[in-house]
Amino acid sequence: MGRRALLASFALVCSAAEAVAAAPADLIYRNGVVYTVDRQDSVQQALAVRGGRIVYVGANAGALRLAGKRTRVVDLHGRMLMPGLVDAHMHPQSGGSRLLNCSLDYRPLTVPQFQARIKACLDRDRNQDPQRWLVVVNWFQQGMQPEGVATTAATLDALGTARPILVRSSFGHSVLLNSRGIALAGVRRDTPDPPAGKIVRDAAGTATGLLEDAAQDMAMKLLPALTAAENLAASRAALEAMRKQGITSFLDAWTDPETMTAFAALQRRGELSARAHFAVLVDLDKGAAPQSAVAELLRQRKQFDQGRTRAAPSMQVRHAKLFMDGVIAAPAFTGAMLEPYLVDKGTADKPDWQPGSSRGPDSYFTQDALRRTLAALAKARIDPHIHADGDGAVRDSLDAIEALRATDAGREVRPALAHAEIVAPQDFRRFAQLGVTPVLSFQWGKPAPDTVGALKDYLGPARYATVEPQELLRAAGARIAYGSDWPVDPLDIWFALKVGVTRTAAPDAGKAYAGRLTGQPGMPRAAVLRAATFDAAWTLRQEGQVGSLEVGKLADLIVLDRNVLTVPEEEIAGAKVLQTVVGGRVLYEAAAMR
């Protein structure tokens, strides 16, 4: 092509661009604090949207030049506008269904309070079939009062019902059964622990009613599956909760075909109000080989993945979920550790915490199995999302990823380690070196029953000083992403982001939980907000589409009632979402915005 032709082509492109820029916008925001989360963390004044995408970010005057007769112009009156939140690790179907269940509401309870709340559910359901399980959810097992109090089948048997009862720990790694439930689950004195699971027993060898990790399946498989209508109701409830929190994209970090069927039905009806990403479980415990497990994941991807990202929310199935261990807190101790948990070899008056005999379980994947599984996933262009809570599970995961990076397919993978509540200091820099994103639930980085009473003494001072290493990992160069892990905790993202900055509990948590968790610093506000927007989008390979407010990106954005960049740190927790916009469509609006 000659110089004249090149100039003519360039002029044509410029003319087309000017024509597009001159077309009226659908939606304009002005007079705001527009926090873009771009590379400069710039703050602008106005933003314009057309066709579901951002066409202008800058000063009021430039945005208003795009106003037409049908343009909706929103005066923000100084309110904050920022990208919609991206939750990189949640369990929406479980969260939605629990909104509809008998719930203990995550409260620290005494045994009588625990029993009274469950008895109230039984009384409300008094005409129910005596063979039907009562499922109780959102049990804050680590918060039972007084600290260390035991709950067993006898605790539930005292309620005097013939119905089987199953109480689910909010952490998702334990269930408690009554005696009727134990019998139905087939748990006997000689029943062996399943792989990657534990039947808790008393000194006499009798099952107490607590089932940990994979052992939960012995009872969970007996529960009646949700009906199609119940699944739809759970999905709708989850999406409604997300809209009010400002979540515009999410990763379901352990899905199943029933969940994806429900979300696909809502998507066809135009009711999907957040961009839905799904991680299919890869589990070798039941005899599957890596190749067959990945083949099943690809079958589900073919059935449910809806292709490229577009303005209207859709579904993508491009992640695998792997479990390397359970949880590090008492009473489970199912986190895989490099060094033993401590035990008290002293007395009540003079405790003497010394290394015990348990490091928790071995990592649920052997090193060979994990390497072969990651290689199969990389070949299929599936990103692994790995649950690794203890420092042993983290080390094993990083070792396998290091081997993966040496392969051609492995260089393109974006692995994530979820939770990473305890990481050996020598592994901090490996996250950045290996391109591994820790996906962290910031709300755990505060003084609470699960981080103090159920953890502190069992780890010892040196390890405890690095628990919930959010800023330590970021300072070592890691890209940090946020994941709520809902319904392990209530869906309260603004409280979680506040904790990410302050490492403090709520003011009403009580004297026992005053102050900061350990001597670690909190994260800078900008880093916390980036973790819940751009960097979380990066883990979903969506950073080119969402996660920041930049021209050409999808118009996924939220309006807040306060400027969380400048209000006192503790006031971040009180932030209210006034409007949630996905692909340029207003999908939630509080009365204060109308």
Q: CA–CA separation, 213 vs 206, rounded Å?
A: 19
Largest Cα–Cα separation, the chain:
92
Tell me the three state secondary structure of residue 88. strand
According to DSSP, residue 479 is labeled: P
Query: What's the one-letter identity of residue 131?
Result: Q
Which of 23, 24, 28 is CA-nearest to residue 73? 28
Both tokens of 558, joined, read: 């939220």
Both tokens of 329, joined, read: 């807190």
Using the Cα atoms of residue 161, residue 102, residue 497 and residue 174 in order, give the sign of their dihedral: positive
Residues paired with residue 244 on neighbouring β-strands, in sequence order:
none
Which of 583, 526, 557 is CA-nearest to residue 81? 557
**Per-residue confidence (pLDDT) for residue 170, from 0 to 100:** 83
**Per-residue confidence (pLDDT) for residue 21, from 0 to 100:** 52
Q: CA–CA separation, 74 vs 45, rounded Å?
A: 12
pLDDT (tens, 9 = 90+) of the chain, 594 residues, equals: 445 544 444 443 343 344 345 699 999 999 999 999 999 999 999 999 999 999 999 999 999 999 999 999 999 999 999 999 999 999 999 899 888 778 898 888 999 999 999 999 999 888 778 888 999 998 988 888 887 788 999 999 999 999 999 999 887 778 999 999 999 999 998 999 988 789 999 989 999 999 998 899 999 999 888 889 989 999 999 999 999 999 999 999 999 999 999 999 999 999 999 999 999 999 987 778 899 999 999 999 999 999 999 999 999 999 999 999 999 998 889 999 999 999 999 998 999 999 999 999 999 999 999 999 999 999 999 999 999 999 999 999 999 999 999 999 999 999 999 999 999 999 999 999 999 999 999 999 999 988 998 899 999 999 999 999 999 999 999 999 999 999 999 999 999 999 999 999 999 888 889 999 999 999 999 999 999 999 999 999 999 999 999 999 999 999 999 999 999 999 999 999 999 999 999 999 999 887
Tell me the three state secondary structure of residue 207. strand
CA 551 to mean position of chain CA atoms: 28
Burial class (CB in 10 A: 0-12, 13-18, 19+), 206: middle
How would you list the strands of the sheet with 80-83, edge to edge?
Answer: 43-44, 33-35, 80-83, 557-560, 577-582, 585-589
Residues paired with residue 504 on neighbouring β-strands, in sequence order:
516
What are the angstrom distances between the C-alpha of 461 and each of 97, 423, 445, 475? Answer: 39, 14, 16, 21
Query: What's the one-letter identity of residue 15?
Result: S
Q: CA–CA separation, 335 vs 21, rounded Å?
A: 55
Pairing assessment for the beta strands 557-560 and 80-83 based on DSSP bridges: antiparallel
Cis status, amide bond into 487, omega within 30 of 0 = yes
**Per-residue confidence (pLDDT) for residue 285, from 0 to 100:** 76
**Per-residue confidence (pLDDT) for residue 142, from 0 to 100:** 80
How would you list the strands of the sheet with 85-90, edge to edge?
Answer: 85-90, 247-255, 275-281, 315-323, 383-388, 416-419, 437-440, 481-482
Cis status, amide bond into 146, omega within 30 of 0 = yes
Q: CA–CA separation, 470 vs 474, rounded Å?
A: 6
Q: CA–CA separation, 147 vs 498, rounded Å?
A: 26
Which of 559, 493, 533 is CA-nearest to residue 242? 493
Answer whether 469's CB lies under 8 Å from 428's CB: yes
pTM: 0.86
Q: CA–CA separation, 225 vs 415, rounded Å?
A: 32
Type and span of the H or E element at 375? helix 367-379
Tell me the three state secondary structure of residue 23. coil
**Per-residue confidence (pLDDT) for residue 405, from 0 to 100:** 98
Q: Which domains does the chain have, with CATH numbers?
A: 93-220 (3.10.310.70), 228-548 (3.20.20.140)
**Per-residue confidence (pLDDT) for residue 22, from 0 to 100:** 65
Q: CA–CA separation, 304 vs 302, rounded Å?
A: 6
Burial class (CB in 10 A: 0-12, 13-18, 19+), 588: buried
* Helices 257-268 and 290-304, packing angle to 10 deg: 20
Q: CA–CA separation, 367 vs 528, rounded Å?
A: 33
Report the alpha-carbon angle 538-539-540, nearest 5. 90
**Per-residue confidence (pLDDT) for residue 20, from 0 to 100:** 46
